[in-house]
Structure 1
Amino acid sequence: MTETAIEAAGLGMRFGRRGKPALDGCAFRIPAGAVCAVVGPNGAGKSTLLSLAAGLARPTAGTLTVLGRSPAEVRARVGYVAQDKPLHLQLTVAETLRWGRELNPGRWDDEVAERIVAEGELDPEAKIRTLSGGQRTRVALALALGKRPELLLLDEPMADLDPLARHQLMASLMADAAGHGTTVVMSSHVVAELEGSCDHLLLLGAGRVRLAGPLDDVLAAHRLVTGRADASLEPHTVVESRTTGRSLTALVRPEGPLDAGWQDTAPTLEELVLAHLGAPQAPALLLDDVREAAV
């Protein structure tokens, strides 16, 4: 297994000759074994990135390697659950899992696939077309995990589930990934939920990488500060600030010690993401495994 799960350099994707780029000049590295959260607003390029990594399309610029090779060469080692979770509606749950087994000879894990379905109390003889959105999600995840992938790509996988089912399935998914060293790259709009599950962050905005790196390092590079509205934050990099009366609150990237007049705390992942999304002109921060690589 390679040390890098996904690596991009100058990655771009444009649909049509005059279309706005879905991805533009993206550069990042996701290490093998990481659980990476891909976050950003609608239209940021999250789904495009995951479909490229799954080998379903080719980029129009730059390079993207998956498990050290081109995405098309490693499809058998990659599991992918798309937002629309395409399944054969006329098949039963049992037939769908049997289909997965036949398509993945030598890799299929009956136990994990059947466990995910059983935890949702699904009738093996039920047709896919009769299942709810959340139940189809379980079947799609069972197919993806059943092939025992080295890399698991999940595009908004829990959107159709109620909060309790989402929590239970996420816990099961993370435990399985940790037990087998699976790299997980997952997009989601539920940012607070990702904080307890992910250890790597990739934040996209308007097709560009805004933040990338180990989650602890990215969070440690920022502080949430509060002080007088007329106080100076120089020489620190201000990501976003807002004034309420005589008080100012800002997310900053410190360039040395903060003045004593500022009260500061560590931001949560949700605070960090919302601040960067609200300030698209803020300088990007790209971190590798141990140090800052570029700003």
Structure 2
Amino acid sequence: MAPPVPPLIPADVRSRLRGLRLLPARASGSRGIGLHASRSRGAGLEFAQYRAYEPGDELRQIDWKLYARSDRFFVRESERESPLTVWLILDASASMRQADQARRDWTRLHAAKALAGCVAELALQQGDTFGLIAINGDGLQLLPAGNGLRQRDRLHLQLHGLQARGQWPDSGRLAPVWERIGAHDLVVMIGDGFDEAAIALAERLASAGRDVVHLQLLTVEERDFPFRDGHRFRDPETGQELLGDGPTVRAGYLARFAEARRTLDARLQAAGIRHDTAFLDEPVDAPLQRLFGTRGRGT
């Protein structure tokens, strides 16, 4: 019997997602995204009016204070924002197999899958549609945008089966990205930020008017470089190897790593791309809390 598949989103993380909202940075008057509320009524965000309770209404919508004053049941109606389409672009190239020596069972790809599941959960909470484009050496794996619990199940199934391999394909094989992602969709890219082709795609999407969020995942060893003796460092995508003594190369490595992060941050900032970097020892929802929590909302 095969071992049970662990849940994509840990229970403690799932509970913390309830306080987050996916907010697009760019409002659209034509589709009512963000600051422009639609005229549809329901259990939305901005209070619109009261109406009499009807069978089938959720009890949580009843205004109990008003009931205490009037002895009648009234439901609070709100203006709902028009549905948003959220696209997850997931880097599944070979470098996403990287893990820390202290925890080999938690790779960048594991964290990326969990993070993608969290974003989909937020979209589900909001009644939004969501889809997945996973990219690796095999090309693109596509889950068309949809909504509801069955769509979430399809997403989880595809994520569980996803493996990190190869390098990013050339731009000619990325045509489905442009065919699927609409002008007002929210794009959440998750990867290690090491592939120039991935960053170029993020910049191109942003320059074409797409609302892009980039979430970078890095290992603790990349951040701290804790190696104390000789090591063989191997690039999982190219196979190139480098022999080096940890203490000797540490200072130079950390300086170059910091400069590479500053350069990437500057490129994403210049392109108008919201971004955050998370390390594998952080809670998986940490970048979402920073970007879509109370403090990060709308920034």
Give the TM-score, by structure 1 length.
0.34
Which has the higher Rg, Structure 1 or Structure 2?
2
